[in-house]
Amino acid sequence: MPAFLHAINPLYSLSGLVVGALVGFTGVGGGSLMTPLLVLVFGIHPATAVGTDLLYAGLTKIGGTAVHAYNRAVDWRIVAKLAAGSVPAAALTLLLLNHFGKDSQSVGAIITSVLGFALILTAATLLFRRWLLRKLANALERRSTRQITALTIALGAVLGALVSLSSVGAGAIGVTALLTLYPKMPTVRIVGSDIAHAVPLTLIAGAGHWWIGSVDWSLLISLLIGSLPGIAIGSALASKVPDRVLRPVLAGTLALIGGKLVF
């Protein structure tokens, strides 16, 4: 039996299958579901959970990006603007994590708190997206192209720091923000651009976590074995449940998990 097979944990693979199915079923980023599962259920250190999940997310989003790019549903100019902010922010965040010690109790507490707030924010964007879009659209409609570009880069910086600390943000939060900045752009291109930007961000941030020693490779392999077929299953079932039913249930679950992490 190959040596790497001994490192596979069936329980982690089963978790990957369930989370992958939920990602395909709901469209919510895997970090919103996988990272809190690793921290709360399996007791994995927050830094290791985030670092491993970032590489997991980056690898699973490559296929989605290829499909969106093939369908010309990616605006590479937006991706470049987001990356101009997110990559430096991710690098700075990782340097700070390394400086203060990834395994320290204080860093673990900070990551857990940021993860909790990110989940609550994700839940809020799922529940109140339409209201947020209306309110923010009024504030942004008179902004110049240069100002929108600056705001897009700033959004990338926020996402870079948030994703590096929690592995959450480059999903519901990023899409909602982009919809307010580019209201005339088709939603499919917004989603495609967000996914395309998530690939370099999560891979770079994941590589940074690998550099500081907060990636568990056997955990990563176990998760991928389960999640890849899980995403395919969830995607096939996505049309079976009405969005008006699924969205509140998912948002409520994320809010409860986020509250538990924060408080």
**Residue 234 pLDDT exceeds 80:** no
Q: Is 29 helix (H, G, I), strand (E, B) or coil?
A: coil
What mean pLDDT, rounded, does the chain reach?
82
**Residue 151 pLDDT exceeds 80:** yes
> Residue 187: is it exposed, middle or buried by C-beta count within 10 angstroms (0-12/13-18/19+)?
exposed
Is 1 within the bounds of a domain?
Answer: no
Is 3 within the bounds of a domain?
Answer: no
What is the pLDDT averaged over residues 220-246? 74
**Residue 233 pLDDT exceeds 70:** yes
Is 108 within the bounds of a domain?
Answer: yes
pLDDT at 1: 42
Instruction: Look up the pTM and report it.
Output: 0.82
Q: Provide the domain count of the chain.
A: 1
Is 164 within the bounds of a domain?
Answer: yes
Domain that holds residue 62: 8-262
| Count of Cβ atoms closer than 10 Å to residue 77 Cβ | 11
Is 2 within the bounds of a domain?
Answer: no
The pLDDT tens digits of the residues spanning 43-80 come to 898 889 999 988 888 887 787 788 778 888 889 999 99
Q: Is residue 20 a contact partner of residue 234, using CB atoms and an 8 Å limit?
A: yes
Q: What letter represents residue 196's amino acid?
A: A
Q: What are phi and psi of 242, to 5 degrees?
A: -60, 140
